[in-house]
Chains A and B, each alone.
Chain A
Amino acid sequence: DAKTTQPTSMDCAEGRAANLPCNHSTISGNEYVYWYRQIHSQGPQYIIHGLKNNETNEMASLIITEDRKSSTLILPHATLRDTAVYYCIAVSSPGRRTQGGSEKLVFGKGTKLTVNP
C-alpha cells in the first residue's frame, strides 16, 4: 500500500472550514484513499473514502486531485468536537485480499487537528 504524508498538526477556528491535506504520490490505480479520525481516548472512527471522484457525506468532503497524488479532507464547519487526530490511509482495492489473506489498514501518525473557540 502507498505511503501517505500528512502535516503533524493543524489549527482551525470554530465554525470555519478545516482543510486537511494528504500526500500519496506513490498511490497505485487500485488504491482507495480512506480517512479516519480518533478523538482522544476513543477508537478510530471512519469518515469517508474515495478512489478518483470527489466524495461527500454527512461528515465531510473528500477532494482527490486529478493525478490522485494528493487529497484534502474538508470539514465544512468545524466544531470543538472535531478536535482529533485525522488519519489518511491508502488501501488497495477494498476487500481485495493481499498476500496473507487480508487487506492491511495501516495507520500512520496522522494530523492532530485542534479546533479553537
Chain B
Amino acid sequence: ETGVTQTPRHLVMGMTNKKSLKCEQHLGHNAMYWYKQSAKKPLELMFVYSLEERVENNSVPSRFSPECPNSSHLFLHLHTLQPEDSALYLCASSQEVAGGRRTGELFFGEGSRLTVL
C-alpha cells in the first residue's frame, strides 16, 4: 500500500468511448503525475500538476485530458483513443517543498491497465 490509489485497475474501451481514470493520494502531497507504460517501452511522463496547476504537458495528444480538482485527486479523461494507446497508466505523487521545489521521491499507484479495441 503506497498511499496512492488508482481506479479502475483494468479498463477496456472502444475507440469512440469516453472514460476517465482516477487517482487519489492519501499522503498529503501537493504534486501529482501521470505516466504511461507501453509494452516493452520505458515509462513516459505525460503530465505534472503542482499545487493543482499543470506545470508539464509532455507533448501528449489532446485525446488525453487531465484534471486536478484538488491536491488529492487527479483524473485522466480519455476520448476517441487509438489501439496504440493501450498501456498501463500510472499515477504518482510527491511533496513540493518551500520555494516551489519537489523531491525526486515519487509514490506510485498500482496503475490502470487500459485496452483500446
On A, residues with C-beta under 8 Å from B are 32, 34, 36, 41-46, 49, 89, 91, 94-97, 100-110
- Cα A109 to Cα B40 with chains together (Å): 8
| Chain A interface main SS type | loop
- Cα A113 to Cα B104 with chains together (Å): 23
- Cα A41 to Cα B90 with chains together (Å): 11
B66 within 8 A of A: no
CB-CB nearest in chain B for A101: B55
B102 within 8 A of A: yes
With contacts A42-B110, A44-B106 known, is A104 near B45, CB below 8 A?
yes
With contacts A43-B110, A95-B97 known, is A105 near B55, CB below 8 A?
no
A46 and B101: CB pair below 8 A?
no
| Residues of chain B with a CB closer than 8 A to A103's CB | 102, 104
Can you list, as one digit per residue, whether each of B88-101 has a CB less than 8 Å from chain A (1) or not (0)? Answer: 00101000110011
With contacts A106-B45, A109-B42 known, is A94 near B102, CB below 8 A?
yes
With contacts A102-B48, A102-B50 known, is A44 near B108, CB below 8 A?
yes
- Cα A106 to Cα B90 with chains together (Å): 14
Can you list, as one digit per residue, whether each of B2-18 has a CB less than 8 Å from chain A (1) or not (0)? Answer: 10100000000000000
A43 and B55: CB pair below 8 A?
no
11 contacts between A and B (CB under 8 A): A42-B111, A44-B43, A44-B92, A49-B104, A49-B105, A95-B97, A95-B101, A97-B101, A102-B55, A104-B45, A107-B43
